Amino acid sequence: MEKKEKPKQWKLLIALSVLLALSGQIHGQNLKISSVSLKGDDVIINYDLLDENLQHKYTLSLYSSQDNFVQPLKMVEGDVGIDQKIGGNKRVVWHAKDELGEQFKGDVSLEVKGRIYIPFVTLNNFADISSIKRGKDYNVTWTAGRGSNVLTFDVFDKKGEIVHTYTNIANVGEYQMQMPKDVKPGKDYKIRITDQKNKEDVVFTPNFSIKRRIPLFVKVGLAGLIASAIYLTTSNIQGESAPGEVPLLPDPITPF
């Protein structure tokens, strides 16, 4: 009887270092790792981000020794990415098995890198847009940025999935945007604005909702009225005819 080989057990050993690359080296900035733990196939990193200037925000990324700390890890969630506020009890979850694959077994060193977040463009009017109607034009305006930039607008739903992309947008300070009709109505949408040449230049809009241009109840009401009108017209014509006879049209009105 042949012995069945046991499947290789997925195993990960973690070593963590912190590199907080801060712009300007202002006093009072500190990233403190409070704990690192494994939970199933995930790595949980808890940290505090401290700064004397409470108005500062940071871009934080997690890197691994798998590629010699070149590209940020993708399968992460929590308090990571751009626009991170100062504060304690922050948490990053790395889905290590999803990133490394089922067959991985070995040691990985992690590195947290951060810098003060400075938006490469500033949106002028998007804070006033709480909802967007499909098929309607919206003029989005912004300031700053380099004139040679070519921008991309990615529309994200509340699950974090891209549902539409506007590409090759000239950095001229405004763009007339129209949400396509195949994007589902809903809440908690946002747009990510990036520089096509420098993927680290990222800005997110505030959350907004997407609505139908014509509300659904209006469409249903109109359909009901049309159906009722057709039914009444047909009933009136049939009511004036004997059974089995072809309905006759009323006599034309005699002109004056």
What is the tens place of the pLDDT at every residue in 63-120?
A: 988 899 889 999 999 999 988 999 999 999 999 989 988 888 888 888 888 888 888 8
The partner residues of 46 in beta bridges, in order of sequence, read 35, 91
Residues with pLDDT less than 50, the chain: 7, 18-27, 217, 255-256
pLDDT confidence of residue 101: 86
pLDDT of residue 21: 42
Beta-strand ranges (E) seen in 86-219 are: 87-95, 105-116, 122-123, 131-133, 137-143, 150-156, 162-170, 174-178, 186-195, 202-204, 208-211
Handedness of CA 36, 38, 72, 57 (dihedral sign): negative
Q: In the structure encoding, which two tokens stand for residue 68, read together? A: 């010699």
Q: How far is CA 82 from CA 17, 28, 175, in A?
A: 20, 20, 23
The confidence score (pLDDT) of residue 23 equals: 35
CA distance 202 to 122: 11
Q: According to the model, what pLDDT value does residue 199 have?
A: 78
- Residue 236's pLDDT is what? 56
Question: What pLDDT score was predicted for residue 167?
Answer: 94
Query: Length of the chain, please?
Result: 256
* Backbone torsion region of residue 169, taken as left when φ is above 0, otherwise alpha when ψ lies between -120 and 50, otherwise beta: beta
What is the DSSP code (8-state) at residue 127? Answer: G
The whole model's pTM is what?
0.63
